[in-house]
Structure formats: C-alpha cells, structure tokens
Chain A
Amino acid sequence: MTTSSGTLLAFLISRSTVADRLWIVFSAMIILASLWFTGSEPGEEVVIFRNAQRIEALPLDQPAKRSLPGRLGPVEIEIRDGAARLREFESARMIGTRTGWISATGEIAACVPCGIMIRISGGAPSTPTYDAVAR
C-alpha cells in the first residue's frame, strides 16, 4: 500500500509542472478555507418559553440562574458549565427536574403543568438517534 502510494506520488511529481503544483496548493487552500468556514459554529444559548411564548435567551457559556413564576409555582432555570437545567418545586411528576442537565442543540426540558420550557439552540444541530419516540 505504502509502496503503491509512493509510486503514484512519484509518478504525479514526475508528470507535473510547476504550474500544476501551484494549482494543487491553491486548490488545497480553497478547500481548507471552506472547511474552516463550514465547520465553525455560532454560540449556543438557552431559550426560555412561558405559556408557549419565548421570553428570554441566555448564553450557555455564562453561569446564570433565573426564577420564573409557573402556573403551579416557581420554576428555576440554572446554567452552569455549558449546560442548563430546569427545576420545578410544585409539580407532582417533576418531569422537568428529572430531565436533568441538557446541553445539545435541540434538547428540551419542560414542566408542562407549569407552562415553562427551555430549549438549547444556536449550535450545530445534533443528530438524534430517533426522530421521535412513541410512548
């Protein structure tokens, strides 16, 4: 494998002109530049919704705490170490709290009876294993 690759490289060098080599370097620079720009991601944030209305977006890279009045009582949203979580105190099923820390784009934590939801957005979309889970 290495021998055949070396042979191919030697063949290409022997058959190429200076212009060819300059063209290859130029093409490689273009490709690297396009890789750089397509690979960069915008900053991520936590978007907070109350009763289906977007009320605030907070950067995920800055520690923060918010306490919001939910329909059943206060709901706390905490951001730390690039992740966010929602903690309800009066909800019977505590599904939002049980969701725990979320950090990937598209992840959601919600207290449905409180009417409070947070969603991570702004980064490159993650590829979930499933498009939905029937339950």
Chain B
Amino acid sequence: MQQPSTTMKPRLHPLLTFLIIFTILPGCSQPQTPHTTTRLVMGTLVTITTWNVPEAQERQGVADAFREMQRIDRLMSSHHPQSLLSTLNRAEENSTIALDPELALVIRRGVEIHQITAGAFDPELRALIRLWNFSGDQPATTPPDPQQLASVLKTQKKRKRNRLINQNPPAMSVGTGGANLDLGAIAKGYAIDRAITVLQQAGITDALVNAGGDLRILGSKGEAPWRIGIQHPRRDGEVIAVSEIRSDLAMVTSGDYERAFVHNDRRYHHILDPETGTPSDSGLISVSVQAPDAMTADALSTAFFVLGEKRSLTLLPDFPDVELLLVRSDGSLHRTAGFIATLRP
C-alpha cells in the first residue's frame, strides 16, 4: 500500500538559516583595523598606531603620548634656542651646573655608549654637526671649508669633556668651550620610549610609535604581528627585509641615504665619524638595530654605522638583547642570529 502523499516534509529552514549566517556573515563583518594618528613632532612625522582600543581611551592616550614627545623636544632639542639643552650649551666652560633629571639620564646613557663604543657615538659633537648643517631648515649643499673643518676637529679632540659629577641631584661640570651637547642621535629614541610608557599608562597594550622611521612596538595586532619593512638603502620605496614582531621591541635604522648631498660627484651623508670629522666611511650603508628600548637602539645604530662591521660585531656582546642587520656598501647583508626579519631577495 502506498504511503499517503501528504506526509509532512522535515523543516529545513532553521538549518539553512544557520548555515547561511555562519558561513557568510563572518566574511562580511568589518575587519579590525589599526587606528593611526600622525603629527609633526620633533622635526619629523610621528605616527602612533594602536590596535583594538576603545575610541575615547585611544584618543586620550595618543594625545598624551604626543604631548610627552613635545615635552621631550622642548627639553632636549638643539634646534630650539629656548630648550633646556640650548641653555646648557650656553653655560660657561668649567662651570658646574645643575641638570634636569631626565636630561641627566639621557646624557648619562650617551656617555656610557660613547665609552663602550670607543667614541664612535659622541653626544658632545655639536660644533661639528652645526658646521656640516645636515639638519637645518636649509641644509648645506656643499661640504665645509677644509681649514674650518680642521680647526673645529682639532678643538673637538683637544677639549676637556663634560663630566657628570653628581647623581642626586644631578649636576655637570662643563667642558672646554662649553657643553657642546647635541642629543639628536639619542633623544628621539628616548622620546619614543616615553611615548610608549604614556600609552601603557593609558592602558594601551598594542601600539606602534614611529618617529620618522625610528620605532618601538608594543604587543601585537590581535593574532597578527606588526609588519615592519626595512628601507632598501639604494632603492626608494623598496624594502630589504620585513620584520614581523609581536612583542615589546625597538627598531632603529641609520643609513647614508636619509640626509645627504652630492658635491663634485661625491656623496656626503649625515652620519659623521667623530674621529675624522667627515661622513663615516666604514663600509656600511645601513645599520638596523633591534633593542629593548629605542634610546639604546637610536644611539647604537649611529655608533655601529661609524664602527663598521668587524668592530660592531666585536662590541655587540657588551649590549645584551641587541641584534643587528648590517648592509655593506656592495649591498650584501649580515644579520645576527636574533635579529627578527625575513630578508627580501
């Protein structure tokens, strides 16, 4: 006997609805995107990127971080005549002056790195830096007069250096000819570190502070790492390596391509060798440093650029948790074992 044709069909719609919703809708949802804010600070473009932070918290934290960087700039800029550093540079030689604690901290770290790197990093190079004028609003397009350069270099080498004489409260005995301080190769790193601290105090756990290509990373982008390209020293818009980072790490690169001019078919770049008083010719064209803090990475990228490959690698054990990517003038690379990066062909 045939079954009646009016048999109830099983209802499919709840199953179909769930299938459709769970297979299609996740693909339609708005992806989480980083929130980026860029401002002109410390004479460069500074970008702060955060990941997955409530809007009000993000806005307040990022504004505070920018304010902190501006505060450091007012303290340590050698361009602003009103900065505390400029005041220090106007102090009479052989005088003893009280130091702002933060300024003392950065100067002390600079002096430490100066000593360990046998002078390759020098925070007391102001006269020479001003003579070459790579960083002014209207940078030089010709090298300085050789006689003038020789005179400044001679004074530089013979002068009695500044001496930090007290910890609490900090003070400094000013060297011959004045303090001659220029913290341009370390203060930006310190400002980045301070910005990161301010973001952390605002409860932000995932962020990236990028000050003109010097940067420090905090956390990750959810499941994904922060992707950092490392500028190719000879090809604009290309990278030589990509670092995928998901932890607190600073990365600073010094290259001969950033500020330079060509005069009589010769290229002059901004990284000066304190020994010769001229642009460093160590056989390296780019040095990337990964370190726990940006202040150390900033100073070391300059120091290792000046030192060259062999001396840099000899000194590296003196700096725990510091890793290097060196680009030689022939374009070949040397990467230390712990440097986080995938090299590009």
Interface residues of A (CB under 8 A from B): 12, 15-17, 19-20, 23-24, 27-28, 31, 34-35, 38, 49, 51-52, 71-72, 92-93, 106, 108, 110, 112-113, 115, 117, 119, 125, 127, 129-135
Contact = CB atoms under 8 A, between A and B. Distances in A.
A134 B251 contact: yes
Interface string B206-240: 00101011110000010000111111000000010
26 contacts: A12-B12, A12-B16, A16-B12, A19-B11, A19-B13, A20-B13, A34-B25, A34-B28, A35-B28, A38-B28, A38-B29, A49-B39, A92-B138, A93-B139, A117-B40, A129-B227, A130-B239, A131-B34, A131-B227, A132-B208, A132-B213, A133-B230, A134-B215, A134-B231, A134-B253, A135-B253
A113 B40 CA distance: 10
Nearest to A114: B137
Contacts of A49: 39-40
Interface stretch (B43-51, B111-119, B277-285): B43-51
A24 B16 contact: yes
A37 to B, nearest CB: 10
B10 to A, nearest CB: 7
Given A19-B11, A23-B13, A71-B137, A112 B228 contact: no
Contacts of B30: 38
A129 B229 contact: yes
Interface of B: 9-13, 16-17, 20-21, 24-25, 28-30, 33-34, 36, 38-41, 43-45, 47, 49, 137-139, 141, 208, 210, 212-215, 221, 226-231, 239, 242-243, 251-253, 255, 258-259, 288
B9 A115 contact: no
B40 A52 contact: yes
Nearest to A115: B40
Contacts of A133: 213, 228-231, 239
B38 A15 contact: no
Contact of A52 (B41, B215, B242): B41
B40 A134 contact: no
Nearest to A12: B12
B40 A132 contact: no
A122 to B, nearest CB: 14
A20 B25 contact: no
B43 A112 contact: yes
Contacts of A127: 33
A28 B213 CA distance: 47
A98 B243 CA distance: 27
Contacts of A71: 137
Given A15-B10, A16-B12, A19-B11, A131 B228 contact: yes
Contact of A15 (B9, B138, B226): B9
A99 to B, nearest CB: 11
Nearest to A34: B28
Nearest to B70: A52
B24 A31 contact: yes
A117 B12 contact: no
B242 A130 contact: yes
B137 A27 contact: no
B20 A27 contact: yes
Contact of A20 (B16, B36, B253): B16
Nearest to B24: A31
A110 B10 contact: no
A129 B25 CA distance: 26
Contacts of B10: 15
Contact of A16 (B9, B24, B39): B9
Nearest to B39: A52
Given A15-B9, A34-B25, A108 B38 contact: yes
A55 B151 CA distance: 47
B45 A110 contact: yes
A16 B17 CA distance: 13
A75 to B, nearest CB: 13
